[in-house]
Amino acid sequence: MSLILKNLGRKVNHSWIIHKLNLKVDKGECLALLGPSGCGKSSTLRLIAGLDKPDEGSILIGGEDVTNISPVKRKVGMVFQSYALFPHLSVAANLSLGLKVRGVSEVEQKKRVFAILELMKLEKFAIRLPAQLSGGQRQRVALARALLRDPLIYLLDEPMSNLDAQLREDLRPEIRTLILGGNKPVIYVTHDQHEAMAMANKIAILNEGVLEQVGTPKELYENPSSLFVAKFIGRPQINIIEERKEELKCIRPEDIKFKSNGLRAKLEYKEWLGSEQLILFKTSKGSIKMLCKGSDEIPEDAYIGWAQDKEHYFNKKTGYRVNKLLKY
């Protein structure tokens, strides 16, 4: 079982919001769609689910072309950012509604709803209305509804963006166990790179509807294909150290070190983050961010440097990566 997108595209008002998108998600694999707001992440999910029609390309689920098949026949489990629960129905009624529509017997409905409530630790909330639940509990109900559908693929559209940071951290292991730990393809949409790295096997970076790069989190971090990817993956953001005629030399803040014979730097700002410190130095090459241990003493005047093999080069005009042979 796999999900394949071939040259997928969609236009709105004569402008491409997704253009020539090619992706493959295999059985048991989670692909995170990552990018800034408006880059086409949620629009891609809507095309896969059948909620919108593409203007070009095709969608294959398990080898079958479903591009022109109605949403109800695609067997897609979708979890929305807004939970999409019926406010006038109890938790149990919200969960059984889809089974009822699909013609499942009342006895089987009760059996399957009870089993999923038990799995999601929601038994005592069965008769409550959505308004009587916390954000985390509502998200569990939305996940339970997707699981009940027993879909061929899962589509998760920023499922935790409405939750606070601590609750997101608590829910990640549950989502990984319940959905990402199975044998179905999963597409997980988020604008949060930490969430993408924690949840996904692979990450696809979108920029204005165009695929910039796809790879493992490690591949994207260590070998970004463009300056856009280099800036989007990694926090604090990568430093642009030097602008030459046709290229940019960049270095990540965590690769900057104190070096006795290095570049002279004057402390401008520091931010203590517990185990780490974010430092901003003023240098002859402009302001440079550095990430170091929280216990390090930071002098007002220092000398900083980096290893040559940590440098990243990008074409100034196109933004694409320039590969260089390192000389030692």
Digit-coded pLDDT (tens) for 211-227: 999 999 999 999 999 99
Give dist(CA 204, CA 207) in Å, integer. 10
Give dist(CA 35, CA 176) in Å, integer. 21
The pLDDT score that the predictor gives to residue 325 is: 46
What pLDDT, in 10s, does the model give residues 261-296? 899 999 999 998 889 999 999 999 999 999 999 888
The pLDDT score that the predictor gives to residue 274 is: 87
3-state per-residue secondary structure call for 152-204: CEEEEECCCCCCCHHHHHHHHHHHHHHHHCCCCCEEEEECCHHHHHHHCCEEE
Per-residue pLDDT, averaged over 163-181, amounts to: 76
> At how many degrees (to 10) do helices 106-119 and 135-148 cross?
130
Half-sphere exposure of 14 (CA within 13 A, CB side): 0
Give dist(CA 123, CA 244) in Å, integer. 63
The pLDDT score that the predictor gives to residue 273 is: 86
At 328, is the pLDDT very low, low, confident or very high (cuts 50, 70, 90)? very low
Backbone angles phi, psi at 296, to 5 degrees: -70, 140
The pLDDT score that the predictor gives to residue 324 is: 60
Partnered with residue 264 across adjacent β-strands are 303
- Between 65 and 191, residue with greater pLDDT: 65
